[in-house]
Chains A and B, each alone.
Chain A
Amino acid sequence: MHQINAQELINNMKDNLKDISLQGLWKNNSVLVQLLGLCPLLAVSTSLINALGLGIASMLVLIGSNISISLVRNWVPKDIRIPVFVMIIAGFVTIIQLLMNAYTFGLYQSLGIFIPLIVTNCVIIARAEAFASKNPVHLSALDGFMMGLGFTLVLIVLGGMREIIGQGTLFDGAHLLFGEWARVLKLEIFKFDNQFLLAILPPGAFIGMGFLIAGKNIIDEQIKDKEPKAPDTEKAPRARVTSLT
């Protein structure tokens, strides 16, 4: 009897972890579904390396803030939770900014104002409020990681797309993130006399993101069509938040 219970518990937990990962990466992806955090996304995704840098920074903040908010969730009265969350997030962003300034100086300069602006990335406070303030530490950490990874992956794809179409290269500026040796990573895919400006300027980001969202919806439709019609059992609660960034 006890054994079955333990087994069930483990299975339950596995499902839980799988669900959180799936939510963060695909089903409830912060960019493609929730449409959160678009300001940095659109501004920084001009090249793959910039995108990767900001993605990692946002992910670190998200993990850190999720963990600490989950840790203190039982001591923070409901009335003052928002200021406390904001304070924790702002603290993490400032720490990350200082660390980037100290150890990845080139990238810090190339990302510029968008590092402090991570504070205003709605994904972070949204996860704090919707997940970390109600769940234990390990799940919150995983949620932060997966949501951050989902954000980073979309950033990378968009950044890569814009860099290839806009200036015909990939990994340009890798030395900013990884140090001088990384200059060799730069790929020249094709050469323009003039860059394709639309891809690099902000409208290109909107258009690119439109295609990404459309692509995700097509894949979802196909998956749905393939699946045999399942009887309507429990539907996963899907926090679909569509708000401005």
Chain B
Amino acid sequence: MITEKKAMIKNGVILSLFALVTTGLVTITQIMTKDQILMQEKKQLLKVLEQVLPKDKHDNALYLDCTIVNASFLGSKKPHKIYRATKDNLPVALLIESTAPDGYSGNIDILSAVYLDGTVAGVRVLKHKETPGLGDKIEVEKSQWITKFKNIQVKSEQDMRWAVQKDGGMFDQFTGATITPRAVISAVKRASLYAQNETEMLFNAPNQCAGVDK
């Protein structure tokens, strides 16, 4: 009885020692890599922001100027970041993170840059789970399709050109995958409409990204 108890205590102590050591090691690594990881994430963000909006169109640090909105119009209820591009302190464009909720397999997160008149400056897919080989042509690494949005304006909600060709629009569908491009097109269109309708509100909202860069 007593020996059993002793063994139990001993095992408990050994287990907790191991727990301490392993968590300690993980913590040390985490502290050591924290800055590097933040930097990588920032670099990634900067790269995408630069891809959708040409550098010469604005003169502010985009990643330091954003507002976060909860608008179901942007495709999901989760908060979306909207970066604000200005030149000489005048509003130029909005870079809107939005979601296409109607992809072939789940949500497609995209980033679209929209000038104030609703003309699209550029679009990139941030995250998706579409079928490899079919739907993943929305990635710029796989196909140039996503660049076709550049310089095309969304005139109104009824703008019929904003659809795949199969539906009478102006954008190509992919062989074997119509649902994916359809979802992306409608998400970009909604992002542009949102930018046009809410321009003032978005530029006047308080900056929620100022503290990112310590």
Q: Residues of A with Cβ closer than 8 Å to B? A: 46, 72, 75-77, 79-80, 83-84, 87-88, 90-91, 94-95, 98-99, 101-103, 105, 166-167, 193-197, 200-201
Query: Contacts A77-B7, A77-B10, A91-B22 hold; do A200 and B132 have CB atoms under 8 A apart?
Result: yes
Q: Residues of B with Cβ closer than 8 Å to A? A: 7, 10-11, 14-15, 18-19, 22-23, 25-26, 29-30, 33, 36-37, 40-41, 43-44, 131-134, 175-176
- Smallest distance from the beta carbon of A178 to chain B beta carbons, Å? 16
State the CA gap A94–B176 with chains docked (Å): 39
Q: Is the CB of B44 within 8 A of A98?
A: no
Contacts of B40 in A (CB 8 A): 101-102, 105
Q: Is the CB of A83 within 8 A of B15?
A: yes
Q: Is the CB of B22 within 8 A of A194?
A: no
- Smallest distance from the beta carbon of B102 to chain A beta carbons, Å? 22
Contacts of B29 in A (CB 8 A): 94-95, 98-99
Q: What are 20 A-B contacts with C-beta separation under 8 Å?
A: A72-B18, A77-B11, A79-B7, A79-B11, A87-B19, A87-B22, A95-B25, A98-B30, A99-B29, A101-B33, A102-B33, A103-B36, A105-B43, A194-B133, A194-B175, A194-B176, A195-B132, A195-B133, A197-B133, A200-B132
Q: Is the CB of A84 within 8 A of B18?
A: yes
Residue of A nearest to B40 (CB): A105
Q: Is the CB of B26 within 8 A of A95?
A: yes
State the CA gap A201–B135 with chains docked (Å): 13
State the CA gap A200–B26 with chains docked (Å): 35
Query: Contacts A76-B14, A84-B18 hold; do A201 and B132 have CB atoms under 8 A apart?
Result: yes
Contacts of B134 in A (CB 8 A): 197
Interface residues of A: mostly helix, strand, loop or mixed?
Answer: helix
State the CA gap A103–B7 with chains docked (Å): 44
Contacts of A102 in B (CB 8 A): 33, 36-37, 40
State the CA gap A79–B23 with chains docked (Å): 21
Q: Is the CB of B133 within 8 A of A167?
A: yes
Query: Contacts A77-B7, A77-B11, A95-B29 hold; do A46 and B176 have CB atoms under 8 A apart?
Result: no
State the CA gap A99–B28 with chains docked (Å): 12
Residue of A nearest to B43 (CB): A105
State the CA gap A8–B128 with chains docked (Å): 60
Given A83-B15, A98-B37, A105-B40, output 6 extra A-B contacts at Cβ < 8 Å.
A77-B7, A87-B22, A91-B25, A102-B33, A167-B133, A196-B133
Contacts of B7 in A (CB 8 A): 77, 79
Q: Is the CB of A46 within 8 A of B132?
A: yes
Contacts of A77 in B (CB 8 A): 7, 10-11, 14
Query: Contacts A95-B29, A99-B29 hold; do A80 and B37 have CB atoms under 8 A apart?
Result: no
Most central of A76, A90, A91, A193 by chain B CB within 10 Å: A91
Query: Contacts A91-B22, A95-B26, A98-B37 hold; do A75 and B14 have CB atoms under 8 A apart?
Result: yes
- Smallest distance from the beta carbon of B48 to chain A beta carbons, Å? 12
**The 8 nearest A-B residue pairs measured at CB:** A91-B22, A195-B133, A102-B36, A102-B33, A105-B40, A95-B29, A98-B33, A197-B133
Most central of B10, B18, B43 by chain A CB within 10 Å: B18
